[in-house]
C-alpha cells in the first residue's frame, strides 16, 4: 500500500517570508498524481496545488510552488511571501490507480499533516 509521510508536525514562518513543507511517499507505480491541500481551523479543505508524476516541470500557483523529485519520491511545498491567511494544516496527498472488480479508479492517501503558523 502507498504511504505518505510528512515529517514536520509543525512549522512556523514570519509574514512575508518563505517556508517549505516536506512530503515523501512510497510507491512502486510510475504514473500517479500528487496534491497539497490546505485545511484552515474548523474550515473546509481546499486544493492548493497538484502535480502529475509524468511531468518533469514543477507546478506553480501564484505564491505556491512544489519541488517534485520523482526518483527521491519527494514532493515539497514552498510558500513565498507568506500571509496570515496561509495559517492552516497542510496535507500532502498521493493519488494512485487501483482496480477492483474490473473497475479502475483513483484513491487518495493523505499524510499526517503539518500545522503552519504565520507570525505577523
Partner 1 sequence: EAGVAQSPRYKIIEKRQSVAFWCNPISGHATLYWYQQILGQGPKLLIQFQNNGVVDDSQLPKDRFSAERLKGVDSTLKIQPAKLEDSAVYLCASSSGRAGEYSNQPQHFGDGTRLSIL
Interacting residue ranges for partner 1, rule: CB under 8 A: 4, 31, 33, 35, 37, 43-47, 50, 52, 91, 93, 95, 97-98, 100-101, 103-113
Give the nearest distance from C-beta 99 to partner 1 in angstroms. Answer: 10
Give the nearest distance from C-beta 49 to partner 1 in angstroms. Answer: 10
Q: Which is nearer to partner 1, 77 or 111 (CB)?
A: 111
- Closest by CA position to 31, among listed 110, 112, 106: 106
Give the nearest distance from C-beta 45 to partner 1 in angstroms. Answer: 4
Q: Which is nearer to partner 1, 9 or 120 (CB)?
A: 9
Q: Are 106 and 27 in contact (CB under 8 A)?
A: no
Q: Which is nearer to partner 1, 79 or 92 (CB)?
A: 92
Determine how many CB atoms are found less than 10 A away from the CB of residue 95: 18
Contacts of 27 (CB under 8 A, 6+ apart): 2, 73, 94, 96
All three cell numbers of 33, joined, read 498524481
Q: Is 53 left (phi over 0), alpha (psi -120 to 50) or beta?
A: alpha
All three cell numbers of 89, joined, read 494544516
Give the nearest distance from C-beta 36 to partner 1 in angstroms. Answer: 11
Q: Which is nearer to partner 1, 72 or 100 (CB)?
A: 100
Amino acid at each position: 500500500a502507498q504511504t505518505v509521510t510528512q515529517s514536520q508536525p509543525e512549522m512556523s514562518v514570519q509574514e512575508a517570508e518563505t517556508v517549505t513543507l516536506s512530503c515523501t511517499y512510497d510507491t512502486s507505480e510510475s504514473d500517479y498524481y500528487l496534491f497539497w491541500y490546505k485545511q484552515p481551523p474548523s474550515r473546509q479543505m481546499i486544493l492548493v496545488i497538484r502535480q502529475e508524476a509524468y511531468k518533469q516541470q514543477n507546478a506553480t500557483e501564484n505564491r505556491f510552488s512544489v519541488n517534485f523529485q520523482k526518483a527521491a519520491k519527494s514532493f515539497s511545498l514552498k510558500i513565498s511571501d507568506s500571509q496570515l491567511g496561509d495559517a492552516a494544516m497542510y496535507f500532502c496527498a498521493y493519488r494512485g490507480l487501483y482496480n477492483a472488480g474490473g473497475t479502475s479508479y483513483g484513491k487518495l492517501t493523505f499524510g499526517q499533516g503539518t500545522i503552519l503558523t504565520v507570525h505577523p
